[in-house]
Structures are given as C-alpha cells and as structure tokens.
C-alpha cells in the first residue's frame, strides 16, 4: 500500500500557478523530504494534502483514502508538523493537546 499518492494535482491562485500537474507516490516506510525554493509550491501541496486547501484538479490519497471524499479518515492518517511553533504559551500542555485534538474531531481524550 502507498502511504501517499499524488496524481496530476493542480492549484492556482488567480494567475499564479502554484502546482502544475504534480504527481508522485510515497510507499509505506519510506522517508521523504519535500524541498524547493520559495514559491515552488511546497506549502500549497502540504495544505492540499492536509485538507486545508482544495486542489483545482487531480487527486491525493493518504493511506488509500482520498483527501476530499474520505477527508475525516485521511486527516487522521496524516500528521503535519508546521515549521513555525504554533501554540499559545499561556496554555498548559494538556490544554494545548485538548485544543489541537479538536482539529481532528477527537473529544474528551
């Protein structure tokens, strides 16, 4: 099974073509790095994988689940760690985990 499958994904913002037919597969157990210069579309691709943005066309699957059709299951299979620290320094660790778990529909855990 593939961990991630990306097929002909396209995304534009007005006249800016952020993703122009991106396709690749990542097998389970593989290590993968997404590298490129500023403006290459890395953040756009990750945002579409995580369901934060919708591609204009193409498909993305995480562990066999389409990120648009099976978004709840696909999101649970994917972990995204932002490069910036995104937390409120006034929250306790428990409060932060409780707040963040809400993004994934996890309640009272």
Token pair listed for 99 = 């707040």
CB-facing half-sphere around the CA of 33: CA atoms within 13 A: 2
Task: Give the domains, in start order, of the chain with CATH numbers.
Answer: 2-82 (3.40.50.300)
Which range among 17-26, 33-42, 76-85 shows the weakest confidence by mean pLDDT? 76-85
Q: Give the Cα separation of 75 and 86 in Å (integer).
A: 19
CB-facing half-sphere around the CA of 85: CA atoms within 13 A: 4
pLDDT per position as a tens digit, 3-37: 999 999 999 999 999 999 999 999 999 988 889 99
- Model pLDDT, residue 109: 60
Is residue 60 packed enough to be buried (19+ CB in 10 Å), middle (13-18) or exposed (0-12)?
buried
Kindly report the pTM of this predicted structure. Answer: 0.73
| pLDDT of 42 over the 80 cut | yes
pLDDT band at 79 (very low <50, low <70, confident <90, very high): confident
The DSSP letter of residue 42 is H
């Amino acid at each position: 099974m593939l961990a991630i499958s990306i097929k002909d994904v396209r995304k534009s913002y007005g006249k800016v073509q952020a993703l122009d037919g991106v396709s690749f597969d990542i097998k389970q157990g593989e290590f993968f790095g997404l590298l490129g210069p500023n403006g290459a579309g890395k953040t756009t691709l990750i945002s579409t994988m995580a369901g934060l943005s919708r591609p204009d066309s193409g498909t993305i699957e995480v562990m066999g689940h389409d990120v648009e059709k099976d978004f709840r299951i696909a999101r649970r299979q994917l972990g995204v760690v932002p490069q910036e620290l995104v937390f409120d320094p006034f929250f306790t660790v428990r409060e932060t985990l409780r707040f963040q778990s809400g993004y994934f529909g996890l309640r009272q855990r």
